[in-house]
Structure 1
């Protein structure tokens, strides 16, 4: 707090003397489409945070993940190093690292759903605004989510010619270029083409143990929009887009777990033998790869060569991701007040991505994910609007297919060669060096929905919404021997099987199965106990909401909503040892009650919005342990009962002309009310022992979050405008839920900007600094695969200059 107040004081102290004489000034109206139609943000009876494209650029928001740093109540973290971000709103989130996991937070790009968060990691380009809708949105949005939605809205084609470029150069030799051109192609076709690229050949992370840097960037995005006037009553908006990302990934930092109240490590690995065993050359010393307090310090594995096959794998943290897609939006005014809207979307996502879990130059845990994902969606809705009534009725359909290979490297782990110096049976006799998990998932979802807003009186509005969804998800997969024979050899040694290299290694441990492993031991059919797991889940659910808005005055709206929502179940896409580990988790359900107010005060110069909410959270999807033959490893489950209470406050103030102050606060009180979680100390396969963890907080649910932006601009003569500004954010500590190694500390991040430009907006030059105080923080922490505890540190202080020009 002191750092933030100091930065604000510095900015304000440098401002020219302000004219405090009352002037006719008002805040600019913010228009959102949260309810599928354009409305002033203060006329919508739900909690919405919105940022313009210009605000996002000044604050350094370049990706969907960056939005969280400026939105109270929203967090983005990762549960492991697999390239899959986890979005959480108001404590409602799913901490799973599987690519196949659906998010509790809906992500929509120009009204088309992005159902898997791994698809959201590309750069944001030519944005009009972003809207964060908090709480269940079960009646108007396609995919089933419980936390809320994030809508990304692109700038649309214009009839008049427009063009512009933005060029930035910053620390670590980072070059950003963004440009657009917009205008009329024919009498009835307007188009807009936007392109963005970020390039950096200098890494921001430094290896602790060698001369090596990580963090180069190579990402480009392009989008073409065509607004076609079909006739006087109908228009078609075509959206063609592509993103290519060949950047290096962030590496983790390993640390001594005793700093966080844990053991030094969860399990030993080979490189620790020199420091932990009395026979080790460095016995009693601190391993040189431990580090905290320096965001640039990290370590990673660059390659692995199999001692069995001689094949070498490139494990350097990096990605080769490509998303291409298209959408079409048809709007047809059928008659006065009636509009038909049809939105078709298709996206194809492919990646080959390597990540290092363990934060070291050793090979306790590294992985390569190869993903092929296709998503199709179709929405058709009919909207009617009159002075007294507005209603929307529609249908939605989506279909997606995913194929993934998850190649896992663990040669130095306790399950691999790390077991040899520690003498850990049975792995010391037959170590496992690699795993290859392969699975297929296909999901079909169909829904019918309705939404009604009825003005009961001039000041009182009733909102009713309902949605019925039918969804089917099919999954088939197995963890295979990776071709080196090490997993097959371990299973053959342990069970007397004769599995060849490359065979499925998932053990059938279902006592009711004809291939139950203990029913086949010693028989010639024992190999049948190792086979892929196939299952499907069907979900049929109603959800809906009731809302009342009352305009106390023209400038004060109070509202209350009662809503329900669900998120469909799914499957564990992690490495599996047994089939029981792959049994699907079921859907979760949320019942929410919210009260709020939206006010415009001080002659339109102040907006003050507040909300309080109470959530009943049933069957929350959460990480737990799976008790398997090789030990207690990653699993997924449902938490029977939880609750979330909280409140939020948002202020936008224009005290004098040119000075904008935006502040936001979010408070959360979360609690697990009923959950018998796996007890890791007492459980050993096939015996599972649980213990009562009721009373713990939910993961990724900080008690307090703050954010703010202060900006002042004033004229320099008749042709120039000067700007100074700062924005800041605070996130309180998180508990990690049942996994205390996932806990994070609180942190502040402060940014600053100084800019000068022309009064007509033709050009602007800005100096900026992000993470001004070089705060060390880590938004994610977890067990780094098998043995180490790791943290994923935020970026250090960066600075640079940006030049914008409009033609």
Structure 2
């Protein structure tokens, strides 16, 4: 029960809060001798105060190299840039990475990632992302697990295009690698305290340093509270307060100069309010039959609505006046061992993550109980990867490894349709999913001449996926068992990549590649009236052709990277519908054939020592090549049952993706005496896109953010004034239609605040 859970977890929350207080106290009482030599938060972050485009060392290809040397479309965001670009959670990444979209269907707590138009829109918890998400090389396969991950971060690497050859998991869209800060050999620490609109309060801090000659440690904490920017249209009650706490501890042991052992553990708790939806059109509810209530379409970007019935509140263990909420908890650990043999390096990465999702959403956005949803999922993932790689000193290099993972996703969700004319019932959908994956992978690279090299790699995997004991049933007002099933499926697939790299000038190289990626199939775990809805959907396969150019010009002050791609897409996974005897239900289906093509350009320029300009522009377009989709159904007038389904040939139809996006930032460092003033602005544009779940077009948007940093003379302190959504734009993130109302999830209005940063 939510009330009891809140009481039971006060001890855990108190431990995190005490850790934060202890950390800040330690920082403020630290000896002043450390202030002058203090490292900044991110030693690898590109610095706007230098006259050159600073190199960031990345590990996107499982070895350390300059980001400019990677023969693939790659965007890197340094840890300091996260604050400057107002990136507070994974959803905000889309405003800084070309061709990336991140949104949460129905405004829920589960983000969906799409790169170059490749990605899904599933709201259930049992299906993995098309874009791989990793934290310190450990896969977080389910989107809901990625919240509260972006604190104490060294850098984020986003690889576009199919991955798998060098990664343990299969993906068709790309990979997002979050690299957190490692323990340091010198004592260092810092904190960032933020206060903003709607009483938003945030605190992040870290303390790092040696414990012995061979052992060092790092502790980082993050807490966020307040920020309720939404209001109930009927009662004026606030919605949107954050209540998040996270902690990460890391140990680094260096027993010899050739051996490195990293151990990390993490804990996160999210008891925030949920996101309220808005009515896109006037809505006639059915909660006071026969007339109901007429709700006008929402025009104020802050208003929303919600409600919960007595039965549903008792069912999920909360109050009858409960707001949409999250009560999520996650914890886990990662062990990474690396040993350098001279001729090769052996690396092992082993990890475990446990995540509990408890989340109540109101998807009709009114006081009427027509589409309330409560998720209760328990997720366990464990994985191990062992790889051996050459030392990279010769013309021939190689890497090979084995990967194994197990995943368990249990639970399901309840749906409250008691006041809906469509169903008028409370549904329960439960299941227990088990997944096992084993893969072998390898890659070789040969330098043919000083300027020309070729590489080729492959990955073969075997996966079994079982959905045990699926039950979809009506539990009120009368009990009805609607569907049961225990489907299984297995997959044997290969991925691969071949590339050619030509360095025709000292700081300019071009590449061409062809790659094949695979994303696992799965099961649609929605409310179901027929077992056929649980028929597995197939894996999707994507063959990608890509060419690119990477260049560093004008005495290392200008970087210009270009890429163009064509995707041959088979069995694309798409959220669609099928028809039961009396209604249509959602189901993830496969599109036999489609294609996507596009181009991207990224520019970083330091025209003067203190000015940094970053620009990114991308274009993409896609069409269905073969796709027969159910459109309507013919009903029997006597029984009301569907007796015939009419299909539409959607071949030649445009894929539901925005064709254009543009991201940019300008950062300027102005020295005034011994002080520094740092104005910065960042902005993003996304073209309109089609919403599958609502069958309408989501409008294009512009989003701008601004920051003004002030660093006093000879003090390890920085004060930043920030504005998010500078022009107070009305931004629609998603459009939805679940059972009754047409709703929209919107971006927060303009917010302002101040951040105090301290380092020693």
**Normalized against structure 1, the TM-score is what?**
0.85
Query: Which residue of the other structure, out of 456, 459, 469, is the alignment partner of 1:464?
Result: 456
How many Å separate the matches in 2 of 1:433 and 1:754? 53
How many Å separate the matches in 2 of 1:186 and 1:487? 64
Give the alignment of 1:197-212 within 5 angstroms.
197-200=223-226, 203-212=228-237
Counterpart for residue 659 of structure 1:
611
Counterpart for residue 104 of structure 1:
130
1:450 aligns with 2:445: no
Counterpart for residue 377 of structure 2:
371
Larger Rg: 1
Counterpart for residue 637 of structure 1:
589
Cα contact 2:575–2:589 (8 A) shared by 1: yes
Query: Which residue of the other structure, out of 679, 683, 686, is the alignment partner of 1:724?
Result: 679
In proportion to residue count, which structure has more strand?
Answer: 2
Query: Which residue of the other structure, out of 240, 253, 259, is the alignment partner of 1:234?
Result: 259
Query: Which residue of the other structure, out of 335, 340, 351, is the alignment partner of 1:345?
Result: 351
How many Å separate the matches in 1 of 2:712 and 2:610? 15
Counterpart for residue 387 of structure 1:
394
Cα contact 1:209–1:289 (8 A) shared by 2: no
Deviations 1:472-513 (A, max 9, x none): 00003444445435242xxxxxxxxxxxxxxx321xxxxxxx
How many Å separate the matches in 2 of 1:368 and 1:573? 14
Q: Say which SS state the counterpart of residue 786 (structure 1) adopts.
A: coil
Counterpart for residue 357 of structure 1:
363
Cα contact 1:303–1:316 (8 A) shared by 2: no
Query: Cα 1:714–1:373, aligned 2, differ >3 Å: closer, same or farther?
Result: same
Give the alignment of 1:552-591 within 5 angstroms.
552-591=504-543
How many Å separate the matches in 2 of 1:175 and 1:313? 26
Query: Which residue of the other structure, out of 749, 752, 756, is the alignment partner of 1:796?
Result: 749
How many Å separate the matches in 2 of 1:761 and 1:451? 49
Query: Cα 1:43–1:313, aligned 2, differ >3 Å: closer, same or farther?
Result: same
Deviations 1:2-40 (A, max 9, x none): xxxxxxxxxxxxxxxxxxxxx993111122111011111
Q: Say which SS state the counterpart of residue 505 (structure 1) adopts.
A: strand
Query: Which residue of the other structure, out of 428, 440, 459, is the alignment partner of 1:436?
Result: 428
Give the alignment of 1:519-558 within 5 angstroms.
532-558=484-510
Cα contact 2:427–2:473 (8 A) shared by 1: yes
How many Å separate the matches in 2 of 1:578 and 1:313? 33
Query: Cα 1:24–1:754, aligned 2, differ >3 Å: closer, same or farther?
Result: closer
Shift of 1:689: 2.7
Query: Cα 1:181–1:215, aligned 2, differ >3 Å: closer, same or farther?
Result: same
Q: Say which SS state the counterpart of residue 305 (structure 1) adopts.
A: helix
Aligned length: 705
How many Å separate the matches in 1 of 2:698 and 2:310? 31
Q: Say which SS state the counterpart of residue 735 (structure 1) adopts.
A: strand
1:88 aligns with 2:114: yes
Shift of 1:302: 4.4
Stretches (4+) displaced over 4 A? 271-274, 306-315, 681-684, 758-761
Shift of 1:663: 0.4
1:704 aligns with 2:660: yes
Greater shift in the superposed pair: 67-76 or 471-480: 471-480
How many Å separate the matches in 1 of 2:556 and 2:313? 72
Shift of 1:80: 3.3
Cα contact 2:190–2:759 (8 A) shared by 1: yes
Q: Mark the runs of 5 or more structure 2 residues left unpaired by the alignment.
A: 1-48, 636-640
Query: Cα 1:365–1:760, aligned 2, differ >3 Å: closer, same or farther?
Result: same
1:155 aligns with 2:181: yes
Counterpart for residue 491 of structure 1:
none
How many Å separate the matches in 2 of 1:388 and 1:447? 27
Cα contact 2:427–2:476 (8 A) shared by 1: no
Shift of 1:311: 9.1
Give the alignment of 1:186-201 within 5 angstroms.
186-200=212-226
Q: Say which SS state the counterpart of residue 337 (structure 2) adopts.
A: strand
Counterpart for residue 725 of structure 2:
771
Query: Cα 1:309–1:450, aligned 2, differ >3 Å: closer, same or farther?
Result: closer
Cα contact 2:106–2:277 (8 A) shared by 1: no
Counterpart for residue 476 of structure 2:
484
Q: Say which SS state the counterpart of residue 61 (structure 2) adopts.
A: coil
How many Å separate the matches in 2 of 1:440 and 1:30? 43
Shift of 1:398: 0.4
Shift of 1:375: 0.2
Deviations 1:447-494 (A, max 9, x none): 000011211110111111100011000003444445435242xxxxxx
Counterpart for residue 466 of structure 2:
474
How much is the aligned-residue C-alpha RMSD, in angstroms? 2.1
Query: Cα 1:673–1:798, aligned 2, differ >3 Å: closer, same or farther?
Result: same
Shift of 1:370: 0.8
Query: Which residue of the other structure, out of 322, 326, 341, is the alignment partner of 1:319?
Result: 326
Deviations 1:88-118 (A, max 9, x none): 0000011211111111100000000001111
How many Å separate the matches in 1 of 2:50 and 2:87? 32
Counterpart for residue 648 of structure 2:
691
Cα contact 1:82–1:367 (8 A) shared by 2: no
Shift of 1:295: 2.2
Deviations 1:706-752 (A, max 9, x none): 000101002111x2111101000000000225x55353110000001
Counterpart for residue 37 of structure 1:
63
How many Å separate the matches in 2 of 1:551 and 1:272? 72
Q: Mark the runs of 5 or more structure 1 residues left unpaired by the alignment.
A: 1-22, 257-263, 275-279, 417-431, 489-503, 507-531
Cα contact 1:632–1:680 (8 A) shared by 2: no
Cα contact 1:305–1:313 (8 A) shared by 2: no
Shift of 1:679: 1.1
Shift of 1:272: 8.8
Q: Say which SS state the counterpart of residue 328 (structure 1) adopts.
A: strand
